[in-house]
Amino acid sequence: MIVLGIDTSTSQTSVALGAQGELVGAVQFVGVRKHDDVVPAVQRLLEWTGVELGQVGGVAVGIGPGLYTGLRVGVEAAKTFAQVLRVPIVGTSSLDVLAFAVRTTRRRIGAVLDARRGEVFVAFYRSVPGGVIREGEYRVERPDALAAELEADPEEVLLVGNGAMLYQREVREPGVHVGFAPAALAHPWASALVELSTARFIREETDRPADVIPLYLRKTDAEIGWDRRARGAPA
């Protein structure tokens, strides 16, 4: 079965086609991304690989957390592909994808994505045979809070993701037990997403397209302001 993978949770557009543990092809737009290049990237990938959309048996999508507008474009494109092609879809956290890419480490894994506004999205993982298991929740943190948390725990940890890169100075301070994955792994790759998702397609643990929605982790500013006013605090 060929799986189409799409991740647009960061400033990069990543699409891949994979089958049975093999990467058929991938297209990666790195750097400044335009929000309209996801579907053209899929088209280009199909042309290059000679795969036809009719051969695609499943769609895997990174649901973030990430930068809202770009994330939504990838999620919307992916779920509509699954809907029109009438194939199953699997939505996976983009933090899981980051951690999966460094699963060969023996250290504890911290996946950290830039959340803008001086915050990061973060989740911790542990390697298990064939993959990673998440420990705890997906969270939004300030880098200094994350650094304090790392300092309090002497266990060796490998940080991966563009959030770890961006705040390297802050989160390096806790000590030598904090390491960093290479910059090349700083974004969730659709090829890793496809590999990670394959097991769920095999186990038929798939989602309905309508149920696949981005993992925002934050309310909108308007709602935050509303809640604050409701508590009687100044806006």
Partner 1 sequence: MKVLGIETSCDETGVAIVDGETVLANILASQVPLHERFGGVVPELASRAHVEALTPLLDGAIERAGIGFGDLDGVAVTVGPGLVGALLVGIAAAKSVSLATSAPLIGVNHLEGHILANAVEHGPDLAPAVCLVVSGGHTMLVHMPEPHHYDILGQTVDDAAGEAFDKVARFLGLGFPGGPAVDRLARQGDPNAIRFPRAMADSDDYDFSLSGLKTAVLRHVQLEREAGRTVDPADLAASFQEAIVDVQVSKTLRATRDRGVGTILLGGGVVANSRLRERIEKAGADDGLRVLIPSMDLCTDNGAMIALAGLWRLRRGDRSPLWVGADPSLELR
Using CB under 8 A, which residues numbered 143 to 202 contact partner 1?
Answer: none
Can residue 20 be called a binding residue for partner 1 (CB under 8 A)?
A: no
- For residue 34, the minimal CB distance to partner 1 (Å) is 7
3-state secondary structure of 19: strand
Residue nearer to partner 1 on the CB measure, 38 or 181: 38
- For residue 10, the minimal CB distance to partner 1 (Å) is 16
Using CB under 8 A, which residues numbered 205 to 224 contact partner 1?
Answer: 209-210, 213-214, 216, 220-223
Report the run of H or E that residue 234 belongs to, with start and end. Answer: none
3-state secondary structure of 148: helix
Can residue 69 be called a binding residue for partner 1 (CB under 8 A)?
A: yes
Can residue 48 be called a binding residue for partner 1 (CB under 8 A)?
A: no
Which of 145, 168, 157 shows the shortest CA–CA distance to 110?
Answer: 157
Which of 8, 33, 31, 28 shows the shortest CA–CA distance to 17?
Answer: 28
3-state secondary structure of 144: helix
Residue nearer to partner 1 on the CB measure, 44 or 172: 44
- Of positions 84, 133, 199, 202, contacts partner 1 by CB under 8 A: 84
- Of positions 64, 65, 74, 188, contacts partner 1 by CB under 8 A: 74
58 Cβ neighbours under 8 A, 6+ residues apart? 1, 2, 3, 4, 82, 87, 88, 89, 90, 197, 201, 206
Query: Which residues of this protein are in contact with partner 1, per CB under 8 A?
Result: 34-40, 42-43, 53, 68-69, 72-81, 83-85, 209-210, 213-214, 216, 220-223, 226
